[in-house]
Structure 1
Amino acid sequence: MTVTWETKERPMLKERQDASLPDRVARSAAARREGTVPEVLGWLERRRTEVLFAVERIPFDALDGWSFASETGNLVHRSGRFFTVEGLHVSVGEQPTRAEWHQPIIVQPEVGILGVLAREFDGVLHFLMQAKMEPGNPGLLQLSPTVQATYSNYTKVHKGTAVRYLEYFTDPSRGSVLTDSLQSEHGSWFHRKRNRNIVVETVDPVAEHEDFRWLTLGQIYELLRCDNTVNLDARSALAGLYAPDTPGALHSDTELLSWLAAQRSVTPIRGERVPLAGLPGWKRDSSSVDHEEGLHFRVVALSVQAGNREVTSWTQPLLEPREHGVVAFLTRTVEGVPHVLVRARAEGGFLDAELGPTVQCQPGTYAHLPATDRPPFLDLVRTAAPSRIRFAALLSEEGGRFLNAVSRYLIVEADESDAPFDAPPGFRWVSRDQLAALTQYSHYVSIQARTLLLCLNTLEAAS
């Protein structure tokens, strides 16, 4: 049964308050309840035990409906839908500093929906979160958006059951939109993938279901500090909810956009799709496609059972990183206004460079290199004193396409000695509110930076 945390009774329908969205979001962010974390974690654990979930690694020839195309070696589905795993030849920048490499990439051109349904209870916005199973997630079940579905899923290419609550995000008459934008996915693993990130508020009663719970934003913030509990898609959709109105940025909006335009002009991204067969630097055996030096990630296959999904069993390929990543913002305050150090990231699957974290990498890739050749600020965030770490949690990436893809997300307090306001090339100090404003538009803020923005908002709400 779906309940709010303020009362165990079904709430009465209330008229929406005549208040601005920032005020309503702030009120929801401040609404917490003692015992939320153990209650929600207990609910997730009960759903894990009450519903059949099973994931097993399998060889490629045990995939049902998937095969390597004879001409290209690309991994494709017999329907021609869902996604493909192909090769990509990437070049970034201009000579003489242009970087080039080859890699496998997931190609999924259709736009999915990451939708969160909102409703006021007792004058406080609550959000309908789902206990959703994804085969690549640590622990399998995590808090997810109300609707998390690809176009193939919600048009029933898989011939499964309907996606619950989908009508709130496809029928404009069902509610009012609080935020709505097309956002990029992981540019290192997806080729130009986008999802519609949308939060819709309704004033109508909502049908209850045991896999869904209403939570305030403050309760979600508390759960965000629990390792591998709030999934990537929920973090991405909710990051765009904050509507800023605070001056005091170190650089004006015009200066920031001009700087990003300049970065994009000198780092053009050319991503040419090429056959997976014979991809330079990569090798394939019966159960995986691997980098020849054992770096980065590999492509594997899984057999999946999930009793509460639209289809209860299937097989699929996934990308599996070789190690946990580190994703971090350095933060400083300028005359009381919080700022973060962003980096213009040009990833192979992006259309253009986007504002990304200060640090985003798999550290083992650089372990053998001297400090001067490692990513800037990597050693700083990895060795930061506990007193300087404002936020830290292990958070998983997209469990529907990536297996055991987990990064340590960090927000680290910096000072003038280790991160001056005169930032190095490719970096820029941006106010929290500037970054939040840019999440309303496409292709400005990367998905990892959107997660960190939500983490940053938890600090603001707690202060």
Structure 2
Amino acid sequence: MFRRTSEFHAWFSAQERAHDYRVTPARLDRLDGWALDPETGSLRHRTGQFFSVGGLEVRTDNREVASWAQPIIDQPEWGILGIVVKEFGEVPHFLLQAKMEPGNVNTLQLSPTVQATRSNYTRVHRGNAVPYLEHFTDPRPGRIVFDALQSEQGAWFLHKRNRNMIVEVTGDIETLDGFCWLTREQIGELLLVDNLVNMDTRTVLAGYPGQAGDARPRRDTEDTLSGAVARSGRPDACALHTKAELLSWFTGAKADHHLTRTRVPLDSVKGWVRTEGGVSHETGRWFSVMGVDVEAGSREVTRWSQPMIRPSSRGIVAFLFRTLGGVLHLLVKARTEAGTLDVVEMGPTVQCAPDNYQDLPPGCRPAFLDQVLSAPAERVRFDVVHSEEGGRFYHAQNRYLLVEADDDTPPDADGNHIWMTVGQLAEMVRHGSHVNVEARNLLACLRFLP
């Protein structure tokens, strides 16, 4: 445990120096253990486990364009993302680890207590066992605080879900090398640091309800952003819409829109170019599929090779907000992605890589993107860059923003958008596959504001 955040940073720097890591870009056709499946045309591991990369043709009436084709990761097995919580001196502490992922821009980031695919924790790779796994499998020595199957990035994963869990323990628990205990306030401070708290930690923290024993100063009386967020998170906050109205809007969005997908071989995706080295879009935009060779002394397996998705530019994940009836509300979008499980999920107001939409007419640009990009500094109330999932995405980063809506934003938006309080959106997170991973990540940042 750390009394000051500076002590954590010293510990984290020591962790970075403690192990040697090497990630080397590699040609797809030379990845050890990977090859195109002659039946499906997907890039697949020789064990048939882990994941594969194939092609997908998509049609929908809920995006800027009606149809497109792209490579996509197919990982039908779900993994475990779990955080252990324990009270020390009546203050909840979260057990996190300094974990290397091959796609991290800075190699080491703060991960959940357990972050493992089913192939990993069942040891298909014949590597070491996953520490603390026993807290997230039956029978477990602890009390469930949060447990939901949550979606991953629908732009790059097909129907991918992970089990997000928070388990509270009361007995003694050993703190292994590379792990540390942090309070809610300390995590809040670290969430303000670029590329430090990883995506998997953020998505799990989005489901943390906050307990009576969470001994932190009351913020809901403060005239600050964190105070406004805290008031918006209260169950008795005066909301523009009831929960029944929100669920009716969400159900209607799923019923009113369509999403059809057809699998195609990886080397037959329209508009994409396949070479020995990788797969990329003919315009150079969107993303590419590349390979890496990895050496990591602190992982369950110390050497491996794998394909990865590499975005062409940095993205933006933003909520517009405004005060309605004296309570902060977030503008939530019913969003469809290529890999979305059930047509739409609740997403942030804006979620895109702006460079992909350069020189396009306004009708082909995401709604509210220009308002977010042109917002004056005084309207941008939260602004930090975070990495996305480093196990499958190479140097993927998004700029996470909370932007005060301008006067032209309607108090109730079109059928694809709706205003919610922070508490209402947090309640939706407790139901699997309602809120997408980008919205959950930004919500966690806001709810843990120091």
TM-score w.r.t. structure 1 length?
A: 0.89
Tell me, in whole angstroms, the C-alpha distance in 2 between the residues paired with 1:317 and 1:332: 42
Residue identity over aligned pairs, in percent, reads 50
Q: 1:181 and 2:148 equivalent?
A: yes
Tell me if structure 1 keeps the 8 A contact 2:58–2:68. yes
State the partner residue of 2:373: 382
1:264-308 CA distance string (max 9 Å, x none) = 112122222221121111111111101111111000000111111
2:338 aligned to 330, 348, 359, which one?
348
1:13-51 CA distance string (max 9 Å, x none) = xxxxxxxxxxxxxxxxxxxxxx40x33333222212210
Q: 1:440 and 2:437 equivalent?
A: no
State the partner residue of 1:368: 359
Q: 1:219 and 2:168 equivalent?
A: no
- Once the two structures are TM-superposed, the CA of residue 70 in structure 1 deviates from its matched residue by 2.7
Aligned residues: 426
State the partner residue of 2:52: 84
Q: 1:107 and 2:98 equivalent?
A: no
Tell me, in whole angstroms, the C-alpha distance in 1 between the residues paired with 2:358 and 2:111: 34
Tell me, in whole angstroms, the C-alpha distance in 1 between the residues paired with 2:163 and 2:313: 29
State the partner residue of 1:202: 169
State the partner residue of 1:277: 267
Tell me, in whole angstroms, the C-alpha distance in 2 between the residues paired with 1:61 and 1:414: 48
Secondary structure at 1:174's aligned position in 2? coil
Q: 1:414 and 2:431 equivalent?
A: no
Tell me, in whole angstroms, the C-alpha distance in 2 between the residues paired with 1:173 and 1:403: 34
Give the counterpart letter for 1:85 in structure 2: V
State the partner residue of 1:25: none
- Once the two structures are TM-superposed, the CA of residue 376 in structure 1 deviates from its matched residue by 1.4
- Once the two structures are TM-superposed, the CA of residue 98 in structure 1 deviates from its matched residue by 7.9
State the partner residue of 1:139: 106
Q: 1:5 and 2:17 equivalent?
A: no
Give the counterpart letter for 2:422 in structure 1: R
Tell me, in whole angstroms, the C-alpha distance in 2 between the residues paired with 1:375 and 1:97: 7
Secondary structure at 2:268's aligned position in 1? coil
Tell me if structure 1 keeps the 8 A contact 2:2–2:8. no
What 5-or-longer segments of structure 2 have no aligned partner? 211-233
Greater shift, 315-324 or 333-342, is seen at: 333-342
Tell me, in whole angstroms, the C-alpha distance in 2 between the residues paired with 1:165 and 1:425: 44
Tell me, in whole angstroms, the C-alpha distance in 1 between the residues paired with 2:341 and 2:29: 34
Q: 1:229 and 2:196 equivalent?
A: yes
Tell me, in whole angstroms, the C-alpha distance in 2 between the residues paired with 1:93 and 1:382: 25
Secondary structure at 2:29's aligned position in 1? helix
State the partner residue of 2:223: none
Give the counterpart letter for 2:23 in structure 1: V
From the superposition, tell whether residues 97 and 61 of structure 1 become closer, same or farther in structure 2 (CA, over 3 Å): closer
TM-score w.r.t. structure 2 length?
A: 0.92
Q: 1:317 and 2:285 equivalent?
A: no
Tell me, in whole angstroms, the C-alpha distance in 1 between the residues paired with 2:285 and 2:431: 34
Tell me if structure 2 keeps the 8 A contact 1:246–1:433. no
Runs of 4+ in 1 over 4 A off after TM superposition: none
Secondary structure at 1:258's aligned position in 2? helix
Tell me if structure 1 keeps the 8 A contact 2:111–2:197. yes
2:388 aligned to 388, 394, 397, which one?
397
Tell me if structure 1 keeps the 8 A contact 2:187–2:448. no
Tell me, in whole angstroms, the C-alpha distance in 2 between the residues paired with 1:238 and 1:123: 19
Tell me if structure 2 keeps the 8 A contact 1:112–1:149. yes
